[in-house]
Structure 1
Amino acid sequence: MTLTEIIFILTGTCTILVFGRKLVCLLMMLAPEFFCPLPESFFTSLGKWAVVTGGSDGIGRAYAEELSKLELTTGGKVKVIAADFTKDDIYGCIKENIEGLDIGILVNNVGILPSQIPCKLLEISDLEERIHDVINCNVKAMVKMCRIVLPGMQQRGRGVILNVSSGIAKIPCPIYTLYAASKVFVERFSQGLQAEYKSKGIIIQTVAPFGVSTSMTGHQKPDMVTFTAGEFVRSSLRYLKAGDQTYGSVTHTMLGGIVQSIPTWVLQSESFQHYFKKYVKERVRSQELSFSKYVNTPGQKMGQAKNGQTLSF
């Protein structure tokens, strides 16, 4: 067998393996109940409490409400802690409030955009402050909450940590540079942490949605691609055993494949940046949203859920 033949065989084998893996992933998304089923007692076996950051609105609130409906426990308790995750001195209070709780699920959802309208880095107003806020809220908050909650999960040998990223982290994304980079950190940190603690019985998964109708996305009208927060959360929870990363739905998985197939030079072109910025600006204007409503503001209290024990921030 010649070297050329060996190279062709190896190339063909690698191609088959790559496409085979993608096919398996797609099948898992289409039929999670068959390929990665959750036992009926899965959620109740995890623990008595769920901790959700950014639970005041949007995806975070939907997680808090949905986990309560799944009856993580029968106590019917909701504990709310007001915490501004852009600040540095909040974690002592958080740790004190959750000390000794049997926490089964941690959802690191809290996050902010550096600006209402996407723009180049140096065009962001109050840039130094926004850099600090985005890193604290999108990056540091996740790491610190894992640091607080993970030891108890390791000791009990069970638990789930869901770190909410974004589909935008899958591609180079100018005019969303700071936000996208913070979400890339979420993905890499989660992958590494899952490798470290999978053997301890802990699931650590990144959830990377595209369109979800929340204040952060300008309350887009739900359609085939854009979900309500509740719809997305219910869908994403079906894929808890589908691997260390998920888009949370079949639609967003397909959209992720399409987006990643776009040539990088197109995404990085000045014309793309110009028209995408124009599109977002017109959409925001049409919704007449203020910036305070647009971001997912940590610290706002969440209403009490009906069932389960949920600790939200």
Structure 2
Amino acid sequence: MGEIQDQLLILVGALVCLNYLLKCVKFFKYFLLRLWNPLPKSFFRSMGEWAVITGAGDGIGKAYSYELAKRGLNIVMISRTLEKLQEVAKEIEQATGSHVKIIQADFTKDDIYENIKENLQGLEIGILVNNVGMFHNYFPCHFLNEPDEVQNLIHCNISSVVKMTRLILRDMEIRRKGLVLNMSSGAGLFPWPLCSLYSSTKAFVRMFSKALQVEYKEKGIIIQVVTPYSISTPMTKNLNPSIITKRADEFVKESLDFVATGDETCGCLAHEILAHLIDLVPSWIFYSDAFQNIVWTRCRNYLKQNSRIQEEIFEEEEGNGYIQQHYSG
């Protein structure tokens, strides 16, 4: 009996060591990316003629539109503000020479997809970036104190990913090539108290993407979920860039270099290191009341010091802990 227990413990220990070894190998791929699996310059253009980006009016979506246009693709930009789309589209065409098509759509609504489908007819779409997203409470807060924007949040953060993927994936399957990038968040890597609803929607995007990659990998399609932490965008009130807080353009440029590293990436080396450090914190510590209070206080102070946001926002009552919804797209 004792011998069986010893063998069982050895097996468990070996599996734990193997798990950490695999994590280390994945992590070091970021350091050795260009030696490990460098992408040819023609990679993105080889996927197809057009790239479709949701939430493309500003922030990360705008940065993806610019960067993919620089890499030789024509761009379909989808967002809700027509004037902003027209302005950005003109800038991209003048800067890159690529063709840009715009589609006005509000992803908090559920009746927009037939119009999008009609506008995409006949295009050889090689890349889809499901970027549009909504962050409905700027400060961490308890679930019952969050704004009542549940349906909008689900439409924007979940339905948009599922329905846009369904619109475009079939043609990729027929051509047996394509790239789908789904923007999740570091908040979706594990349950995130005081941000429970947003965290849960982003966890859905992560699980959905990883499952789809298993289904369609053998058909020549890359489906990758991107889980960044802090990015300076209008949705995050333009946090001041730092080692951790990346500018949208630099983040996007770096993240595109990681599309060959697997079905999931934080998008940049700094966020990958941060994710591994957070993973080392035992869950009982992370979910303790004391730790959550520290997170709330530090987060609030960080936002106050580093975001370009009007001071009156921070004069909200402590019990509320939120302001208006923030919508990228």
TM-score, normalised on structure 1? 0.88
SS of the residue aligned with 1:81?
strand
Give the 3-state SS of the residue equivalent to 2:104 in structure 1. Answer: coil
Take 1:116 and 1:11, find their aligned partners in 2: how far apart are those partners? Answer: 42
Distance 2:113 2:174 in 1: 21
Say which of 109, 117, 121 aligns to 1:99: 121
Rounded Cα–Cα distance in structure 2 between residues aligned with 1:272 and 1:85: 35
Amino acid at match of 1:124: E
Q: Using a 3 Å threshold, how does the CA distance of structure 1 residues 297 and 4 change in structure 2: closer, same or farther? A: closer
* 2:135 alignment partner, SS class: coil
The equivalent residue for 1:10 is: 11
Q: Distance between the aligned counterparts of 1:223 and 1:284, measured in 2? A: 13
Is residue 288 of structure 1 aligned with residue 309 of structure 2?
Answer: yes
Structure 2 regions of 5+ residues with no counterpart? 75-95, 314-322
- Secondary structure of 1:2's counterpart equals helix
- The superposition leaves residues 89-124 of structure 1 with CA deviations (integer Å, 9 ceiling, x where unpaired) of 100100000012100100001001122222111112
Equivalent residue, structure 1, for 2:100: 78
- The correspondence of residues 57-68 of structure 1 with structure 2, limited to 5 A, is 57-68=58-69
* CA displacement, residues 13-51 of structure 1 (integer Å, 9 cap, x when unaligned): 213311221121012111211222212321121101000
Q: How many equivalent pairs are there?
A: 294
User: Which residue does 1:305 correspond to in 2?
Assistant: none
Q: What is the match of residue 176 of structure 2?
A: 157
1-structure distance, mates of 2:291, 2:25: 33
Deviates more, 1:11-20 or 1:229-238: 11-20
Residue of 252, 258, 266 corresponding to 2:271: 252
Aligned to 2:247: 228
**Contact 2:237–2:309 (Cα < 8 Å) also in 1:** no
Q: Does 1:191 align with 2:210?
A: yes
Residues 1:266 and 2:300 aligned together? no
> What SS does the aligned partner of 1:296 have?
strand
> Using the alignment, how far apart are the partners of 2:36 and 2:110 within structure 1?
42
Distance apart, 1:277 and its partner CA: 3.0
Q: One-letter code of the match for 2:144? A: L
Distance of aligned partners of 1:123 and 1:35 in 2 relative to their CA distance in 1, 3 Å threshold? same
* TM-aligned CA deviation for residue 284 of structure 1: 4.4
Q: For residues 268 and 11 of structure 1, do their structure 2 counterparts lie closer, same or farther at Cα, with a shift above 3 Å needed? A: closer
Distance 1:151 1:157 in 2: 10
Distance 2:23 2:230 in 1: 22
Letter of the 2:105 counterpart: A
Aligned residues: CA RMSD: 2.0
Structure 2 counterpart SS, 1:105: strand
| Residue type of the alignment partner of 1:194 | Q
SS of 2:21's partner is: helix
Give, in whole Å, the separation in 2 of the partners of 1:213 and 1:75: 27
Separation in 2 of the partners of 1:285 and 1:10? 50
Shift of 1:75: 6.6
- Listed as ranges, the matches of 1:114-129 within 5 Å are 114-125=136-147, 127=148
Q: Deviations over 1:252-299 (max 9, x none)?
A: 11100111222223332333333433344444455324767x72342x
Deviation at 1:212, TM superposition (A): 1.1
Q: Is the contact between residue 234 and residue 328 of structure 2 (CA under 8 Å) also seen in structure 1? A: no
Letter in 1 for 2:327: N
In structure 2, what residue type is equivalent to 1:221? N
Structure 1 residue 57, shift from structure 2 partner: 1.1
Distance 1:66 1:202 in 2: 21
Offset, 1:63: 0.7
Structure 1 residues 283 and 251, CA gap change in structure 2 (3 angstroms): closer
1:222 shift after superposition:
1.2
Q: Which residue of 2 aligns with 1:206?
A: 225
- Provide TM-score, normalisation by structure 2: 0.84
* Structure 2 Cα separation of the partners of residues 116 and 13 of structure 1: 43
Q: Which runs of 5+ in 1 are unaligned?
A: 299-313
Aligned equivalents of 2:291, 2:20: Cα separation in 1: 30
